[in-house]
């Protein structure tokens, strides 16, 4: 019988256990803790911690949260004289309990409005609504919510102002007023303008002009949220980098607030995230109903690696990276722009397991060590 050195056996066992333990402890939030916050968007069930596996994953991997839907106007302010804070209270409590950065999404947005808001046609009434809505919500969570999307998606893709109910009733001054009202309700909270496609040249120019106008008029704006609803091939890393540099040059923080990467065909080369656009689909538009091919998994992993490599290069300018959803099965991209598809846009699959994309993001930090 071959003699086994007991000392060597103990040391080897300890080393293997230690390595396994380290691997188990490794997470996105820990890997990037000295760079920027790593966040996710929570749905109502996740806010109420209804699924233990999902809850465990959220707590392990993320140190920042955004409410996917429940703080939008139609849910939090359903009637003119009625607010519903039941779920938003739970959301804030969840973040506090788990020592997470809590982001408020969103105060003024043309979409997902309560029906009564869409009917406001008088400027005096709209002004009163905005003052009441912003002041009530921001004041309620003063000192508890860390940052807010004050205005969401106010621009068209060409950089002009969207013809929303707010613009039609109040003109572009509504944008400045919204930031002033939010700052008055909580002077210490970080205030963001959030939009999609604002890494594209024309819309980026519009967003920069908008931010400058708000600042020049005395509005407090601390950051810009680039949503990051992207594709495997576009936008280019060069355009994303230009955006980081140009927004940062305005003296504000840059956050990537709703990051996901679609792997599915894009009907009519649609870009962005306008939730009002829907398309009828066919089998060609849903090519991977059961499983993502290895070749596409690899492309997705490479795309995430190149994006996070850029984020690390400019970590001094970036405050937060938030994925739009915890895992593939939850993603809004399964139902937009075509309902009933199977998409694979996030680092965790439908079974909450790490994908090659997850490993590619972690590997960048391992190379630094």
Q: Using the CB atoms, write b or e for 79-108: b if 16+ within 10 Å.
A: eeeeeebebbebbbebbeeeebbbbbbbbb
Dihedral in degrees, nearest 10, Cα atoms 68, 72, 74, 78: 120
* Residue 19's pLDDT band (cuts 50, 70, 90): very low
Cβ-contact 354, 326 below 8 angstroms: no
249 DSSP 8-state letter: T
* Residue 16's pLDDT band (cuts 50, 70, 90): very low
pLDDT at 304 over 90: yes
In a domain, 1, yes or no: no
Strand partners, 321: 38, 256
Give me the DSSP letters along 2-15. ----HHHHHHHHHH
* Angle subtended at Cα 346 by Cα 254 and Cα 315, rounded to the nearest 5 degrees: 25
CA 125 – CA 117 distance, rounded (Å): 10
Cβ-contact 61, 101 below 8 angstroms: no
Q: What is the tens place of the pLDDT at every residue in 152-179? A: 999 999 999 999 999 999 999 999 999 9
In a domain, 136, yes or no: yes
Catalytic residue among 54, 68, 199, 258: 258
- Report field, pTM of the whole predicted structure over 0.85: yes
Q: How many residues does the chain have?
A: 369
What is the span of the domain harbouring residue 194? Answer: 35-368
Give me the DSSP letters along 340-368. T-----SSB-TTSPBPHHHHHHHHHHHHH
How confident is the model at residue 90, as a pLDDT? Answer: 98
Q: What is the tens place of the pLDDT at every residue in 200-213? A: 999 999 999 999 99
Cβ-contact 353, 295 below 8 angstroms: no
User: Distances in Å between the alpha carbon of 40 and those of 147, 228, 322, 347?
Assistant: 14, 13, 5, 11
Query: Positive or negative, the Cα torsion across 47, 194, 27, 248?
Result: negative
Q: What is the tens place of the pLDDT at every residue in 110-120? A: 999 999 999 99
Cβ-contact 241, 310 below 8 angstroms: yes
Q: What is the tens place of the pLDDT at every residue in 54-75? A: 999 999 999 999 999 999 999 9
Three-state SS for 207?
helix
Catalytic residue among 61, 68, 153, 200: 153
| 153 noted as active-site residue | yes
How confident is the model at residue 284, as a pLDDT? Answer: 84
* Residue 277's pLDDT band (cuts 50, 70, 90): low
| Number of compact structural domains in the chain | 1
In a domain, 175, yes or no: yes
83-92, 187-196, 267-276: range with lowest mean pLDDT: 267-276
In a domain, 13, yes or no: no
CA 16 – CA 72 distance, rounded (Å): 48
Residue labelled with tokens 């905005």? 130
Domain CATH number, residue 116: 3.20.20.80
Tokens of 59: 């707590």
Strand partners, 231: 262
How confident is the model at residue 21, as a pLDDT? Answer: 42
CA 291 – CA 280 distance, rounded (Å): 22
In a domain, 7, yes or no: no
* Residue 273's pLDDT band (cuts 50, 70, 90): confident
How many Cβ atoms are within 10 Å of 360's Cβ, its own excluded? 21
The mean predicted confidence, pLDDT, of the chain is: 92
In a domain, 14, yes or no: no
In a domain, 29, yes or no: no
Q: What is the tens place of the pLDDT at every residue in 118-152? A: 999 999 999 999 999 999 999 999 999 999 999 99
Q: What is the tens place of the pLDDT at every residue in 221-267? A: 999 999 999 999 999 999 999 999 999 999 999 999 999 999 999 87
pLDDT at 23 over 50: no
In a domain, 139, yes or no: yes
How confident is the model at residue 22, as a pLDDT? Answer: 42
Q: What is the tens place of the pLDDT at every residue in 317-363? A: 999 999 999 999 999 999 988 899 999 999 999 999 999 999 999 99
């Amino acid at each position: 019988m071959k003699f086994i050195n007991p000392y060597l056996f103990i040391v080897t066992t300890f080393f293997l256990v230690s390595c396994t333990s380290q691997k188990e402890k490794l997470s996105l939030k820990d890997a990037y803790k000295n760079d920027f916050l790593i966040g996710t968007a929570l749905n109502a069930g996740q806010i109420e911690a209804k699924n233990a596996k999902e809850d465990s994953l959220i707590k392990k991997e993320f140190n920042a949260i955004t409410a996917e839907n429940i703080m939008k106007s139609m849910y939090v302010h359903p009637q003119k004289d009625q607010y519903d804070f039941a779920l938003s209270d739970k959301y804030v409590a969840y973040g506090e309990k788990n020592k997470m950065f809590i982001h408020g999404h969103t105060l003024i947005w043309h979409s997902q409005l309560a029906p009564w808001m869409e009917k406001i046609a008088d400027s005096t009434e709209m002004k009163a609504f905005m003052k009441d809505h912003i002041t009530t919500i921001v004041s309620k969570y003063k000192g508890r919510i860390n940052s807010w999307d004050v205005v969401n998606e106010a621009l068209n893709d060409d950089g002009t102002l969207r013809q929303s109910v707010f613009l039609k009733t109040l003109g572009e001054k509504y944008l400045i007023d919204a930031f002033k009202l939010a700052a008055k309700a909580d002077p210490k909270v970080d205030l963001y303008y959030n939009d999609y496609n604002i890494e594209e040249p024309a819309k980026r120019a519009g967003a920069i002009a908008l931010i400058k106008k708000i600042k020049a008029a005395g509005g407090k704006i601390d950051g810009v949220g680039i949503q990051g609803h992207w594709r495997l091939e576009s936008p280019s890393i060069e355009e994303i980098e230009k955006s980081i540099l140009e927004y940062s040059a305005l003296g504000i923080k840059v956050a990537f607030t709703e990051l996901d990467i679609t792997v599915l065909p894009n009907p009519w080369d649609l870009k962005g995230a306008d939730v009002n656009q829907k398309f009828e689909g066919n089998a060609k538009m849903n090519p991977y109903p059961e499983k993502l091919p290895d070749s596409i998994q690899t492309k997705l992993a490479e795309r995430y690696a190149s994006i996070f490599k850029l984020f690390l290069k400019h970590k001094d300018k970036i405050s937060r990276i938030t994925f739009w959803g915890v895992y593939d099965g939850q993603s809004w991209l399964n139902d937009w722009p075509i309902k009933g598809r199977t998409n694979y846009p996030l680092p965790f699959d439908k079974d909450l397991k790490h994908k090659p994309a997850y490993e590619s993001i972690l590997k960048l930090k391992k190379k630094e060590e």
